[in-house]
Amino acid sequence: MFKVELLTRDGAAIAFDAEPSENLLAAAERANIYLPSSCREGACGACRVTHASGDIELDAYSSAALSDAERAAGGILLCRAHAHGDVALHAPFDAASIGFAPTPQRRATIVDIGPAGARAMRIVLQYEEDPEFGRAAQFVAGQFGELEIPESGIRRSYSLANAPNWDGKLEFLIRLQPGGAFSTYLRERASIGDALIVHGPKGQFTLDEASLAPRWFVAGGTGLAPALSMLRHMAELADPCPARLFFGVNRVDELFALDALEEIRAALPQLAVTICVWAPETPPETRWRGFAGTPAEALAQSLANASERPDIYVCGPPALITAVETVALAGGAGATYAERFSAA
Amino acid sequence: MFCYQCEQTFRSDNKAGCAGAKGMCGKDAATADLQDVLLHVCEGIGQYLHRARRLGATDAEADRFLLFAFFTTLTNVNFSAAKFVEFIQRAAQLRDGAKALYEKAAREAGETPETLSGAAAFVPAKDMAGLLAQAGEAAIRKDVARLGEDVVGLRALVLYGLKGVCAYAHHACVLGEERDAIYAAVEHALDLLASEPEDIGPLLDEALALGRANFLAMEALDAANTGNFGTPEPTSVRVTPIKGKAILVSGHDLKDLHAILEATKDKGINVYTHGELLPAHSYPALRSYPHLAGNYGGAWQDQQKEFAEFPGPIVMTSNCLIEPQPRYRARIFTAGPVGWPGVRHIANEDFTQVVQAALALPGFAEDAEEQRITVGFGRAAVLGVADKVIDAVKSGAIRHFFMIGGCDGAAPGRNYYADFAHATPDDTVILTLGCGKYRFNKHDFGTVGGLPRLLDMGQCNDAYSALVVATKLAEAFGVGVNELPLSLIVSWFEQKAAAVLLTLLALGVRNVRLGPTLPAFLTPALVDVLVEKFGVLPIGDARADIDAALSRAA
Ligand code: SF4
Ligand code: SF4
Ligand code: FES
């Protein structure tokens, strides 16, 4: 048994013991310490921390979660790391991101389902009343839940698109993956009244409320979901922070949630929205008059003219994240917060 | 940022004060700086109102705003930088109004209005970045190199004492009790601070003047609470939960609690007070709501654990808030002066959302084993048995009174107060108020002379009661307060406690034991003044301190 010490960004020291046979995420959970994580398989990068000292061995992982440069700089993935001696780690998150109770598991029923543009679906779930949690949907805007189809072993992570609420409603925008197990369920079998199991809330992709910088959101496809959630939360609180949204899809017919964006804009007047279509060659009657290109390109243009350095919240496929991180670095943005969507 | 207004301030061997990116309380540098700017603009308001008042002109709205604005800057009240930008803009508008009021009054009186400089002429920037750039002009220690630590420390004592006065006066004001003399004192103190005083004498005088103003503020608050909700009576309060839906109300605001009780009437929701709102149960008008079910949890520093475990919404009506954790961030609400970025705020006393939340959350699954404590020994209850008390003292049944009052905090040294209470001899009475008591108020101390040995007089907000009792007993025995067999053992944490200390000093109460540490803004020279003039003592070893108190009394 070795000692693991983790120092959070805000200076809190968290300690737990780990056996060499268990990964550090699991070791922490044995001590009721729930550190940020998502895929738990070395694919998403959510559990990335910096290794300060001690002997550590890593299982195989994806370079999307931890690049060679990050590894060289001491980066490790908690879900892949094993301690072979006392270890000291530095976390890029605050102590407030650490949970000290297991993630809730709750039953919910589909109460609305329908297409969201040509390549995604929108489903709305209603939590069932639960003796431990009641019916409230308590989460922090931007978090995700894992949806499990009962007795199927199929379990996928999706970001919540609505704000926390007392009706117990959970809204998800889900990109349909050809052949994907959850996508197939949604396309072929899901209907109103179906029960699902929700594991969550999870995730650290939430507003940095302490930052004073403007908030710019960059969303690719259904990566819009967490941005919608955060913007709805800001609208509810009449948050005065300047905000922009760059929302991109490939083709005009893939657009969705435009009404929702209008509603948010009515409540959050400072929000500027740029809708980007990458390949707008569509029939002339639906000719795209907005921004033609990727949201990363739109971001680059706006950053060049920005008077303040905004924080950037980006969510979408890995290629978009990488592009936005590059643009943010070159364009002098403040902090960049990213949530990678992996294909599933 | 630089802040050393509370007891938990960062301390190292050679300096004290929170000066990093975040204070020990979690207040970030931007918020701290914006608070300084807000208070600076408020000084400008004070400069004009002080002069206008002399000419018979007043502005009630601006006065009320001053109380509110100062309250937002107390430790553990408002952490929302964006809110402070709003407050500063509002303060600037009110300052312009106060200027116009003063100039008009002066002209009407045939005087040429003074052209004021300093805070009165300070033009706050329009946005956050600009305001932060101005913070240096408003910083408490900006003159330290020129004037030294003593003057700056005394300025701080005045500023922080003023914060306490404003907090008490704000609580009274929302319940309809206002006193012109309090506003006059607030304006006077602001005008003095705006003049950037450099001499110890006037600053010490001002501190004592604030102590007297604070006595008035506490009197107004007492009148507000008893006027609206009746006279506190000894009341047995359940301190364990009951099965069912639940709301937790923390802070000190009885008006908000009352509004929540109204909003939850007949809805099958139990309302619990959190630690510091415990005295609410002793007010007849609040106790008459059968769903005011009990008190939950202890002092403020345990709130992160207690709130996480509470199965319903939580309303924070005043200090002391600490960073809401993810497990309850979605179900904690702030009200009044309180704020945290990203947390829902109720500005208009409309608690509908809180009721919805309570119904949506699970509530307590079962009854916990019943446990009760008795509270409500306010001045009326204690003076109601004054004869008994006096007889018991005369017969020797009661040898001494220990008033163990004040705040709690996370520092380990605070165990002193519990140790002290437990070590008091059986022929002594413990009067207590404030959060420090949660470390010993569930213990059975037995009785003496037919009275419970532990008399809970309320919260920090009820310090008035304690002073009235002391004064009345002194009258009954025909002696001064300092001749009574009474010792004050005070634990301070934040600025209300600083104001109460000033009140004690202003009333001539001597030999107060203060801990767990002395305020960081009091330099050794200033502490010497307090020791010499008022006999203020630091806390030491509990048993030795008890012996010293008893031998002094003997
Ligand atoms: S209020 Fe207290 S803890 Fe917070 S910054 Fe000021 S001195 Fe530090
Ligand atoms: S006694 Fe002190 S710590 Fe307790 S609520 Fe009052 S001010 Fe806060
Ligand atoms: S949880 Fe470790 S990489 Fe996803």
Closest protein CA for atom 3 of ligand 3: A42
Reported confidence tier of residue B409, pLDDT bands at 50, 70, 90? confident
Chain A residues whose CB is inside 8 A of the B331 CB are 136, 138
Reported confidence tier of residue A282, pLDDT bands at 50, 70, 90? low
pTM: 0.87
Ligand whose nearest atom lies closest to the CA of B7:
1
B325 to chain A: closest CA residue: A96
For the residues B224-231, what does the mean pLDDT come to? 96
Top pLDDT among B56 and B449 is at B56
Reported confidence tier of residue A341, pLDDT bands at 50, 70, 90? confident
B470-529 pLDDT per residue, tens: 899 899 899 999 999 999 999 998 999 999 999 999 999 998 999 998 899 999 999 999
> A297-301, B37-41, B273-277, B333-337 — which is least confidently predicted?
B273-277
Q: Say if the Cβ atoms of B345 and A139 lie within 8 Å.
A: no
B61 vs B65: CA distance, rounded Å: 6
For the residues B542-554, what does the mean pLDDT come to? 85
Nearest to B386 by CA among B482, B455, B471, B476: B476
Q: What pLDDT sits at residue A146?
A: 93
**Mean per-residue pLDDT of chain A:** 92
Top pLDDT among B45 and B377 is at B45
For the residues B257-280, what does the mean pLDDT come to? 95
Long-range contacts of B530-538 (CB under 8 A, 24+ apart): B530/B505, B533/B505, B534/B505, B534/B509, B534/B510, B535/B510, B535/B511, B536/B505, B536/B511, B536/B512, B537/B511, B537/B512, B537/B513, B538/B513, B538/B514
A12 vs A90: CA distance, rounded Å: 10
Structure tokens at B228: 């609206």
Does the complex come out with an ipTM higher than 0.85? Answer: no
- Tallying the residues shown for chain A, one arrives at 344
Residue B416 — left, alpha, or beta (φ > 0 → left; ψ -120 to 50 → alpha)? alpha
Under a CB-based contact definition with an 8 Å cutoff, are residues B36 and B139 in contact?
Answer: yes
For the residues B220-232, what does the mean pLDDT come to? 96
B13 vs B442: CA distance, rounded Å: 37
B461 vs B435: CA distance, rounded Å: 11
Under a CB-based contact definition with an 8 Å cutoff, are residues A18 and A4 in contact?
Answer: yes
Nearest to B362 among A100, A134, A140 (CB): A134
How far, in Å, from the CA of B399 to the mean position of ligand 2?
Answer: 29
B90-127 pLDDT per residue, tens: 999 999 999 999 999 999 999 999 999 999 999 999 99
> B80-89, B201-210, B272-281 — which is least confidently predicted?
B272-281
Under a CB-based contact definition with an 8 Å cutoff, are residues B250 and B274 in contact?
Answer: yes
Ligand whose nearest atom lies closest to the CA of B461:
2
Q: What pLDDT sits at residue B554?
A: 45
**Mean per-residue pLDDT of chain B:** 93
Chain A residues whose CB is inside 8 A of the B359 CB are 166
pLDDT at A343 over 60: no
pLDDT at B350 over 50: yes
Q: What pLDDT sits at residue A118?
A: 94
Numbered residues of chain B with Cβ closer than 8 Å to any chain A Cβ: 22, 28, 30, 81-82, 85-86, 128-129, 308, 311, 323, 325-327, 329-331, 340-342, 344-345, 353, 356-357, 359-363, 365
Q: What pLDDT sits at residue B305?
A: 82
pLDDT at A296 over 70: yes
From the CA of A62, give the closest atom in ligand 3: 3
pLDDT at A97 over 90: no
Q: What pLDDT sits at residue B67?
A: 98
A145-172 pLDDT per residue, tens: 999 999 998 999 999 999 999 999 999 9
CA distance B87 to chain A (A): 13
Closest protein CA for atom 3 of ligand 2: B407
* Backbone Cα Rg of chain A: 20
A309-327 pLDDT per residue, tens: 999 999 999 899 999 999 9
pLDDT at B363 over 80: yes
Nearest to A209 among B308, B342, B357 (CB): B342
Reported confidence tier of residue A286, pLDDT bands at 50, 70, 90? low
CB interface of A with B, residues 63-122, below 8 Å: 96-97, 99-101
Residues 6+ apart with CB under 8 A from B453: B424, B426, B428, B429, B430, B445, B446, B447
CA distance B85 to chain A (A): 10
Chain A residues whose CB is inside 8 A of the B345 CB are 237
CA distance B429 to chain A (A): 42
Q: What pLDDT sits at residue B450?
A: 85
Top pLDDT among B192 and A335 is at B192
- The helix or strand, by DSSP H or E, that contains position B306, with its residue range, turns out to be helix B303-309
Top pLDDT among B14 and A3 is at A3
